[in-house]
Structure 1
């Protein structure tokens, strides 16, 4: 039971402030009267007159309104509907505004909460803001003020939802960009997904353009730090003279021009992941400071007083140089190398995962056709053949650039990319120019897998000629057949040349 005082401050407000007060009064919105659009405002107060007045005000402002005069009904609405803003009285019997605030943050974390309070409970309302309330308004309410607060809260809630949606879309695009079914790529992804949930430092080893940053993001997105920041730093792109300040931050007056203190990338990545690309390019001085981070979990800003700052960051590093050789040459600290090399991941070049080229090409066609407003569905067989024959010294990044160029140059009305739209170096490629038939293998790969990769790559270069493949490899043709049958059941993945071949 609720009791309406005869001369409450809000009763006077309701009579004076609600426009169009004469005539039939609107009923508070019932659960069955669900607004068709988003941006719902839920009004909760144990005084029915307040609920009626606010409902009228918000409806006249073009807002969707649901209402309740008790906490249980309000909780039911929160469970059933996507409420943008909960406007609730702070002091109510049974379920208070604080109770509703805590419940809303559990049931509907995206809902913003605005509290209505009397002057005597302002301190409590301020405490509520520390628990996640958006704002509070004091009684007697002023129409313009309460409308402005609610609209601002709705705008914030809408931006948060949109931001979350965009982040989800971006994560999905990144997930789709990590494409590959080849053996080399599957092995790489298996290690990445096993390492992701851990806190271990990961070192990505591979040529430029192989997708190391995508893998670093995959490590982050599939870890317990996924909701934290992902900060990427290309150590080779930042001048050595300012790299230390960029990474570790600086205090005011640390150097000429340092008029204010500034956080470094480590502090920006607190609670998340810091990706250090081209780690082999950092100076010995910066190596010492990085080693301290890995050993102690703390940094010291430039110009600091010597008091370290604790940080909580997972480090993922990447390089396209042989760090072990850099250690031997005295250019990279051995102790830092072992700190970084906890989980090494070899990222294969595109020439070692040729089976993935059609999949990657199709993905990039879809991305850039949509971006450029073209109805292109894929590549012609001739174009795919050229793409497969090329050596890709720039790896996946070069393939992406080539497809973007081809999409732009494909004439209106064409639905596929023809070889004429490809760069000249790709059009002129022959089987013999595809990286000079070179292969690289990660340390630890079983000899049986190395053997099969050599056989498959040689078959590709000989266009499926098993006899020529056997001759080039110095083995019997029947050995080729047996190896293929042991892996794919003799499915005839490569063209049969019709030769029975030699004996072992």
Structure 2
């Protein structure tokens, strides 16, 4: 999406040569309408447009099509707009005139990240639909389909996010998940590496608090300093 026909045409030619199916629109409202009526994997959006600008387009597109990746392209780069782009979970921020190889590389990475996110979502949905019941340390039963933990008469319900986090950790016990990776797998969106620890920490804390209803189970959620979190059943207290 670019209001400069020459720029839009150049981008289309570059991407078509790489084998991508490309469409162009020349204002923000047209871009939004296109996304409403067509599946769009990735958009390249000019920040400064007449009428609806790039920031507003990104906000609306995230609501209409959350899995569409967005790359900002601008001749008026600034720290403020870069920070806003980060907060909007925009995939990349390129400055005009961007080199063709930089555009191609950014598009490739954006599509790869989108594919990874969709694959992770599909796997979680499949596992949830299976209604698998797993036994955790201390005889605790976990039904991830119903978001429920129990032992005897004691039952603990989990939120959607808490349930996903616990399931991811338990089913890959011993593997360290990076903070940013957990945000992607649990919440379904990407964040900057420096933001991820602060975003995932409250969720981990809430999960630990809930599973502590079964004494010692919270110890299995291990924080790996500077890296992320893992599930380690060897830390459950021995009888």
Do the aligned partners of 2:147 and 2:160 also contact (CA within 8 Å) in 1?
no
Out of 204, 223, 230, the position equivalent to 1:269 is 204
Residue 227, structure 1, aligned to residue 196, structure 2: no
* Larger RCO: 1 or 2 (CA < 8 Å, sep 6+): 2
1:59 correspondence with 2:22: no
Normalized against structure 1, the TM-score is what?
0.31
Contact 2:142 2:148 in 1 (8 A): no
Given that 2:77 and 2:95 are in contact with CA atoms closer than 8 Å, whether structure 1 keeps it comes out as: no
Q: CA deviation at 1:217?
A: 5.9
Structure 1 CA distance for aligned equivalents of residues 74 and 169 of structure 2: 48
Q: Which has the larger radius of gyration?
A: 1
Corresponding position of 2:114: 157
RMSD between superposed Cα atoms in Å: 3.7
Residues 128 and 141 from structure 1, CA distance in 2 versus in 1: closer, same or farther, beyond 3 angstroms?
A: same
Residues in 2 aligned to 1:217 and 1:270: alpha-carbon distance in whole angstroms = 21
- Is 2:70–2:91's contact at 8 Å kept on the other side of the alignment? yes
TM-fit CA distance, 1:129: 1.7
CA contact (8 A) 1:232 1:276 kept: no
Q: CA deviation at 1:214?
A: 2.4
C-alpha distance in structure 2 between counterparts of 1:45 and 1:88, whole Å? 6
**Please, which of 50, 66, 72 is the counterpart of residue 93 of structure 1?**
50
Q: Once the 2 structures are TM-superposed, how far is the Cα of residue 271 of structure 1 from its aligned partner?
A: 4.7
**Alignment match, 1:212:** 141
**What CA deviation, in whole Å up to 9, does each residue of 1:327-354 have, x standing for no partner?**
xxxxxxxxxxxxxxxxxxxxxxxxxxxx
Structure 1 position 86, deviation (Å): 1.3
What is the SS of the residue equivalent to 2:148? helix
CA shift at 1:270, angstroms?
A: 3.2
Contact 1:85-1:113 at 8 Å conserved across structures: yes
Would the aligned equivalents of 1:75 and 1:100 in 2 still touch at CA under 8 Å? yes
Structure 1 residue 219, shift from structure 2 partner = 2.2
Cα distance change on mapping 1:218 and 1:46 into 2, 3 Å: same
Q: 1:271 to 1:104 in 2, by over 3 A?
A: farther
Query: Structure 1: any 5+ residue segments left out of the alignment?
Result: 1-43, 179-203, 235-265, 291-300, 302-320, 322-504
**Change in CA separation of 1:154 and 1:231 when aligned onto 2, cut-off 3 Å:** closer
Name the CA distance, whole Å, in 1 between partners of 2:169 and 2:39. Answer: 39
Q: How many residues align?
A: 179
Instruction: Please tell me whether the aligned partners of residues 113 and 134 of structure 1 are also in contact (alpha carbons under 8 angstroms).
Output: yes
Secondary structure, aligned partner of 2:113? helix
**Structure (1 or 2) with the greater strand fraction:** 2
Query: 2:37: which partner in 1?
Result: 80
User: 1:102: how far off?
Assistant: 0.6
Task: Indicate the SS of the match to 1:167.
Answer: helix
Aligned residue among 127, 132, 143 for 1:170: 127
Structure 2 residues without counterparts, runs of 5 or longer: 150-155, 171-200, 224-238
Q: TM-score, normalised by structure 2?
A: 0.63
Q: Provide the secondary structure at the position in 1 that maps to 2:147.
A: helix
Separation in 2, partners of 1:158, 1:215: 24
Give the CA deviation at 1:212: 1.6
Residue correspondence of structure 1 range 423-438 to structure 2 within 5 A: none
Deviations 1:303-346 (A, max 9, x none): xxxxxxxxxxxxxxxxxx9xxxxxxxxxxxxxxxxxxxxxxxxx
Give the CA deviation at 1:269: 2.4
Alpha-carbon offset, residue 104 of structure 1: 1.2
